[in-house]
Structure 1
Amino acid sequence: MSLHLPQLSNDPQAPFPAPATALAVPDGLLAFGGDLSAERLLNAYRNGIFPWYSDGEPILWWSPSQRAVFRSDAIHLPTRLRRSLRDSSWVVRMDTAFSDIIAACATAPRAGQAGTWITPAMQRAYVELHRLGHAHSVEVFDGSELDGGRLVGGLYGLGVGRMFCGESMYSAESGASSVALAALARYLHIRGWPLIDAQVPNAHTRRLGVETWTRREYLQALSGLRDYDVPPENWAVKFGEYPASTLATTASA
C-alpha cells in the first residue's frame, strides 16, 4: 500500500478519513485495513464510503469522485422488457432469499472482470447486516412462492436512513435485475425514500436512468437522508409478492 493511503485502526468506531481526501488515481481509493464489522460498515455508508477489494488484498475503502445515483421515481425499463413483462410469469419479493441473492451476485459472470469482490468474508458481513435489519434483497422468481418459483435475478443493498445503498445485482434471465431495481424503486418511492446509490455508473445502469453526481453532490444528499429515524419493519411482509407484469405500466419508458 502507498504511504499516502491511510490505514484504518482495529477500532470499528474509529472515524474514516474525509472522502475529499480520496486518491484521484485510482479514483476514490480512500483507505485500507480495518474489518467488515457491522458497526464499521454502517459508519462507512453513512459517510459515503464502501468496501471493494478482491481475495488476497487488504480491505479497500472507496468514495469515488463521480457517483451513480437513481431517483426512485425515475427508473426507465427498456420498451422491449416492458413488453415482455405483460405476459410474464415472474413475481417479485423482498427479503425472502437474501443469502441466495448475495451468493448469486458473487458468482455471476461479468464482462471484462475476472473473479469477484464479493468474497466469502463480504458475504458473511452483509448476511449479518441483513440479520440486523439493515441489508435487504429484492428477488425475482419465475412462479409464485406457492408454486416453488425459480430464482431468476435480484439485487441487494442496505438502508441508511432514507437512502438505499445498492451493492450488486444479477440476472439469470435477461432483464431480471432491471425488474428487481424497478420494484425496489417503486417500494422506496411510496415510502419517501428518494434516492438509490449505485456507486459507479456503467452502461447498464445508464440505460436504466442512472444519473452521475459529483462526490460533493452525493454527500450533501446523503447528509439530508441518513439521519431519518426509520421505524424497523419487516420488508418481506410490507412488500409481499406481486406480479412483475405490473411494472410494465408503472415503470418509466
Structure 2
Amino acid sequence: LTSPARLSEGKIFSQHFGLYRRHAIDYLLPPETMVDEMLAYQPDVFYANRSHIDLMCQEFKRRNIRYDRLKLILPGAEVIRERNRKMYREIFQAEIAEYYGTVEMGILAFETPSHDGLELCEDLTYYEFLDEDGNPARPGERSRIVVTDLTGTLMPFIRYDQLDMVVVAPGASSDDRGWRRLERVEGRDDDFAVMPDGSHIPFHVFYEIMDKYEKINQFRIIQKSVEYYQILIMADKDYIRSIHDDIIENYSLRFPENVRFEVM
C-alpha cells in the first residue's frame, strides 16, 4: 500500500531482472477495494502502514474469509501492538516482521526471525539515543533517537532528530552482526497526555486499556482539557453499555483522581 503520489513510480532495480513482481495499491481507497485488489493480485509479501492493514483485516473479517497465501507481512509507520499482531496472524497466518523508518532516512531498524526487538541498521547509520537533557541514555530508558546518515552525499542528514521516542534493548542482537536493538518504539515525542500536575502519560496506556475489549472495532480518545477526556467507541451498543463502567474504572486506576473520563 502506498500514497497516490507514488503509484506511478516505475520498476526498481531488482524488478528489471525479474526477481519479483510488485503491485502498488492506493491507501486512500476504501478497505473493500484494497481487499479486492489484494485478492486479485495474490501477493506473497505485504508491506503497508499499520492502520491500513488493520482496516483491511476488518474487511476480511466482515467477509468471513482469510488470506493464507502470504509468507511475510511488513507493518510499519505506526507502533505495532500485540493486538495488531494477533489480528494479522488470524487473518493472514503469516510471519510478521515489523520495521521502523522514515521517508527521509529509509529503513532504520527491522525485526528479525528471532523476534527479540528491532535490529538497527548500524552499517548505514550512526545512532544517538538521548534523554530529556540531551545526554546519552542507557539501555532500557526511554530516549529520543537522533541519526546521522553515513551514505547520503546529495543531501546529508547529520544529527537528524527523528522526533521519535524509543527504548534501546540491553545487549546486541542474537545474530552474527552483533548490532544493537530497539526493545520497542514508543511513538512520536508528542504522543503523551499532559496531566494537571504537568506530568506525562504515554499514549500506550490508552491502548493497553482498550485492547482488553476485543469487540471494540475502533476507538478515539479526545482530550478536551487537562482534566477531561472523551472516549468514542465503535462497537455494538449493547456491548458498549456492558463494558462502560469497567472502562471508566480501568482509566481511573491509571490516571490521577482529578482526571475525568466519559464514554460517548
Structure with greater Cα Rg: 2
Higher strand residue share: 2
Higher relative CO (CA 8 A, sep ≥ 6), structure 1 or 2?
A: 1
Please classify the TM superposition score into its range, dividing by the shorter chain length: under 0.3
TM-score by length of 2: 0.23
Higher helix residue share: 1
